[in-house]
Amino acid sequence: MNSKIAGRLQNITHIVLKFGTGVLTEHIEKRSLGYFRSVAKECRELQKQGKKVIIVSSGAVGFGRTILKERNRLSLPKASVSEKQALASLGQSLLIDSYRNAFAKEKLAAAQILVTRTDFENKLHRQNLKATLNQLLDWGAVPVINENDAIANEEIKVGDNDNLSADIALLYPKSLLVLLTTVDAFYRDGKAVPHITKVSPDIKKHAGDALEGGGGTGGMITKLQAADKILAAGQLMSIAAGKKMSIVRQLVAGESVGTWFYE
């Protein structure tokens, strides 16, 4: 990594970690807190470095599916919009409980925030959102943000957590956005691309349209949409594998892992 990115990383004040559905699915299905606790440990280490950490987490629909399978023996492989909203309602409390319980073991507080597009488009809503985030961060808590899928319709829906996490990162000019996913980088013609400065048509055509599975609503194309926002603002972003949380420390140290987006 060159000195330019290393210097910018030293000045980072906020780190936004986005966890995709695919990363969380196996832990959701097993009802395991191990991964969530590793997230908590990483957040605590980042706080020790003076960074403020915000999480954007998918997984509510995935947890909802797990509950439905356990209680009703129903899988809903092709859920309708209203069914997905109901699944999100079922699963959201279990998602935040997983964070809260795991974080409590590391003496950290996880705070739930549910948002819609209105919270970014309306100036007063945006100010209130940032004020709440700032207060939680000052208290040493870790906000865990998700879209309010149980009520959001097309008119007020952000749409996916990749774009949502970019919108959160844009609230803080000296932030780093890390999209943690099931792939370890952005690939072009079978090769990992270590650094992207512009989301060109050529880059977009290699994005594909595969979703992350388990109720995910994104894919690589939405990650590139997020990158476009971050690059336009002159900020930093990375796509990296989320299987092991040590990857975050590597990124903050400026190591050449995943795919970096910066000019």
Statement: residue 208 has pLDDT above 50: yes
Statement: residue 221 has pLDDT above 50: yes
Q: Transcribe 13-69 into DSSP letters.
A: -EEEEEE-HHHHHHHHHHT--HHHHHHHHHHHHHHHTT-EEEEEE--HHHHHHHHHH
Per-residue confidence band for 1, with pLDDT thresholds at 50, 70 and 90:
low
Statement: residue 177 has pLDDT above 90: yes
Statement: residue 153 has pLDDT above 70: no
Integer CA distances (angstroms), 203 to 29, 105, 199, 238, 262, in order: 34, 42, 6, 15, 14
Name the one residue in this structure whose structure tokens are 């109720």: 215
Q: What is the mean pLDDT of residues 149-161?
A: 63
DSSP SS3 for 186: strand
Statement: residue 108 has pLDDT above 70: yes
How far apart CA 230 and CA 213 sit, in angstroms, is 25
Question: For residues 89 and 150, is the Cβ–Cβ distance under 8 A?
Answer: yes
The kind and range of the H/E element at 249 are helix 246-252
Q: Can you give the pLDDT at residue 28?
A: 86
Q: Write the DSSP symbol of residue 155.
A: T
**Domains in the chain, CATH or no CATH each:** 3-261 (3.40.1160.10)
Summarize pLDDT for 120-152 with one digit per residue, the tens: 999 999 999 999 999 999 999 999 999 887 776
Q: Which of 44-48, 155-159, 198-202 has the lowest mean pLDDT?
A: 155-159
Statement: residue 45 has pLDDT above 70: yes
Contacts of 254 (CB under 8 A, 6+ apart): 1, 5, 6, 9
Question: For residues 225 and 247, is the Cβ–Cβ distance under 8 A?
Answer: no
Amino acid at 127: Q
Across the chain, mean pLDDT equals 89
